[in-house]
Amino acid sequence: MAAKDFYTIKDLQQALLDHAYVADQALATSLFLTLRLHKPLLLEGEAGVGKTQIAKTLAEMLDRPLIRLQCYEGLDVNSTIYEWNYTRQLLHIRALEAQDGKCGDIEQDLFSEKYLIKRPLLQAFELSESGTAPVLLIDELDRADAEFEAFLLELLSDYQITIPEIGTIRAKEPPIVIITSNRTREIHDALKRRCIYHWIDYPTAEKEYQIVMLKVPEATSHLAQQLVLLVQELRHMDLYKVPGIAETLDWAEALVTLDARELDEDIVNDTLGVLLKYQDDIEAVRNGPVQKMIARLRARIQSEGKEPDYKKMAPPHPCLPEYNPEAGYEAPVCGG
């Protein structure tokens, strides 16, 4: 599938859904413009809300290779763009010396592409075997030094990189660039101007329920609704790190592994380490609020009647068959 195959935003939104990624209208619009305008997409939001997964899903959906650059403090040109293979260059010089070759003018040969080690940003300029440009994921840019952003400006402006010994290398086809940031620091305005910007917030209860049923189809609908409502309530607590959708899915898988059919105080307390990652947060939730939370969510579910309206929480779509009150949802029927 090619990017141009998406004639409308709805087409793209449905394709993402077919690959088990639930995107709202605003996010689908930003992705659509990214594909059509060949502009980078800058995604900001809290950790665990699905920013990185977008790039993975796009690569799978478009059948393109995914090149990932994980950012960290101290990132430089040698680890992101290129470096010279000094060992191979030295061996070449030694070989010429052993053959009594003239070493006067070998600089041009030594600094050619065959001695160049291509790092992720330079690899993204190469087409795949099928002749398509890759998806380039620059993950957690805010973890890198601010100076590193200067290296990205030329790349994101003209999709070209200048190597002093070789010259300017231009991409035959611009890669699909997804940049993520957890906003631990502000990204420079010069870089933002070259991107389409989108903020990904924590999902609503309805959306999160739909994601859980797509990603963890083994969970019963009753259990999925309970855990989603509890997670939604935790996000309103004063915690050091509230759980994202990634932690919700991990918790759902853990509960399914433990054959849980519904939440109770014991199972929640025993599995809080899957959902929360700081001891102070675990203690704050464990010492009192858990029992009250479970009572509230049961009352909320019961207020909707004996059988909650699950269809209202997660509208039917091609990847979710009709809800069966006895069996719950079956596994997704679409690809992904």
Q: Per the domain annotation, does 329 fall within a domain?
A: no
Predicted local confidence at residue 314, as pLDDT:
42
Residue 90: domain span: 82-113
Q: pLDDT of 45-64, one tens digit each?
A: 999 999 999 999 999 999 99
Contact (Cβ atoms closer than 8 angstroms) between residue 92 and residue 110: yes
Predicted local confidence at residue 142, as pLDDT:
94
Same domain, 155 and 303: no
Q: Per the domain annotation, does 323 fall within a domain?
A: no
At residue 87, the 3 state secondary structure works out as helix
Indicate which CATH number applies to the domain containing 133.
3.40.50.300
Predicted local confidence at residue 1, as pLDDT:
55
Same domain, 32 and 124: yes
Q: Per the domain annotation, does 327 fall within a domain?
A: no
Same domain, 55 and 95: no
Q: Per the domain annotation, does 58 fall within a domain?
A: yes
Indicate if the pLDDT at residue 242 is higher than 50.
Answer: yes
Same domain, 10 and 97: no
- For residues 3 and 322, the model is more confident at 3
Q: Which phi and psi (to 5°) does residue 45 adopt?
A: 165, 170
Q: Which phi and psi (to 5°) does residue 243 adopt?
A: -70, 140
Same domain, 86 and 230: no
> How many folded domains does the chain comprise?
3
Same domain, 76 and 95: no
Predicted local confidence at residue 312, as pLDDT:
46
Kindly list the strands in the beta sheet with 135-139, ordered across the sheet, starting from the edge strand earlier in the chain.
66-70, 135-139, 176-181, 41-45, 196-200
Same domain, 43 and 175: yes
Contact (Cβ atoms closer than 8 angstroms) between residue 335 and residue 19: yes
Same domain, 216 and 192: no
Please give the mean pLDDT across all residues of the chain. Answer: 84
Q: Which of 200, 217, 252 is the C-terminal boundary of a domain?
A: 200
Q: Per the domain annotation, does 320 fall within a domain?
A: no
Same domain, 7 and 143: yes
Same domain, 75 and 194: yes
- For residues 91 and 248, the model is more confident at 248
Same domain, 153 and 243: no
Q: Per the domain annotation, does 331 fall within a domain?
A: no
Q: Per the domain annotation, does 305 fall within a domain?
A: yes
Same domain, 42 and 76: yes
